Amino acid sequence: MAGEILRHWYHLPPFPGFPPDLSQYPDMQRIARTVQTSIGAKSLMAVTGIALLLFVLVHMLGNLQIFSEPEKINGYAHFLHSLGPGLWIARIGLLVIFVAHVWAAVRTSRASREARQVDYAYKKKDLATSYAARTMLMSGIIVALFLAYHLMHFTLGWVDFAGSHVGKLPLYTLQDGTEVPDVYTMVIQGFQHPLTAITYVIANLVLALHLSHGAASLFQTLGLRNRENAATFTKLGLAVGAIVAIGNCSMPLAILFGIVG
């Protein structure tokens, strides 16, 4: 469907094998039909949201090694890079999950707007929904923009306000004698620049806001949240948001204020 629209817009010739013919695979057809329904898209958003949340938490735990000696985070980055094809499978899996999450979010919000036919009699902010809930789409867009910047900053080395490490990352010698890119120095030099550190702090606060509602509401979508336990899940969402905010903001702030590095 999306492929058809893109082809139409850009006057592209038919792409061989796209969209794929699923007539031979009834199970795949059923899954494709289900995720296009409103509850299917919401469930897809919930399941992919859990995977992305797990990634954020694991990534944060790995990064917090910046508070230890350079050997730790450099050894960890070397371990990840040494996974070779395994790392690429994980990266592609993560990208697919991320795209599915964005697709489901756009579909869900469009479906709820269409179902509403007439606009709210009250402004959205008058309704008994939290600020995080009302701003999910906007916070999601900001996180996606941050992610693009973050990848260009640390993974691709294309942008850095300090201009310190772009294309000339120093090498670090691990205790076993292996020479590896010095991720420790890259992160320290990156966050010593106030604009970079502040950008990361703001983006991670927005991410925490997004996760605080997302983590609480996915249980509702999965049918686990009810009137009795709703308050517990709301608190769980707030706890997840607080953990991500404290963990991810502690790094740029500690480096900016010279506590680390």
Q: Which residues bind ligand HEM (CB under 6 A)?
A: 56, 59, 63, 77, 91, 143, 147, 150-151, 154-155, 183, 187, 200, 204, 207, 248, 251-252
For every residue of 26-52, DSSP letters joined together read HHHHHHHHHHTSHHHHHHHHHHHHHHH
Where does residue 215 rank: exposed (0-12), middle (13-18), buried (19+ CB within 10 A)?
Answer: buried
In whole angstroms, give the CA distance from residue 260 to residue 50. Answer: 32
| Beta carbon nearer to ligand HEM, 182 or 238 | 182
Give, rounded to a whole angstrom, the gap between the first and last alpha carbons of the chain.
Answer: 50
Residue whose structure tokens are 């997302």: 214
- Judged by beta carbon, residue 31 or residue 166, the one nearer ligand HEM is 166
CB of 148 to ligand HEM, least distance (A): 10
Residue nearest to ligand HEM according to CB distances in the complex: 77
- Between residues 7 and 150, which has the closer beta carbon with respect to ligand HEM? 150
Q: How many residues does the chain have?
A: 261
Min dist. Cβ of residue 58 to ligand HEM (A): 10
With beta carbons less than 8 A apart as the criterion, state whether 181 and 209 touch: no
Pick the closer one to ligand HEM by CB: 200 or 225: 200
Report, in Å, the least distance between residue 49 CB and ligand HEM.
12
Q: Which is nearer to ligand HEM, 46 or 249 (CB)?
A: 249
What residue type is 84 in one-letter code?
G
Taking the complex as a whole, the smallest distance from the CB of residue 60 to ligand HEM amounts, in Å, to 7
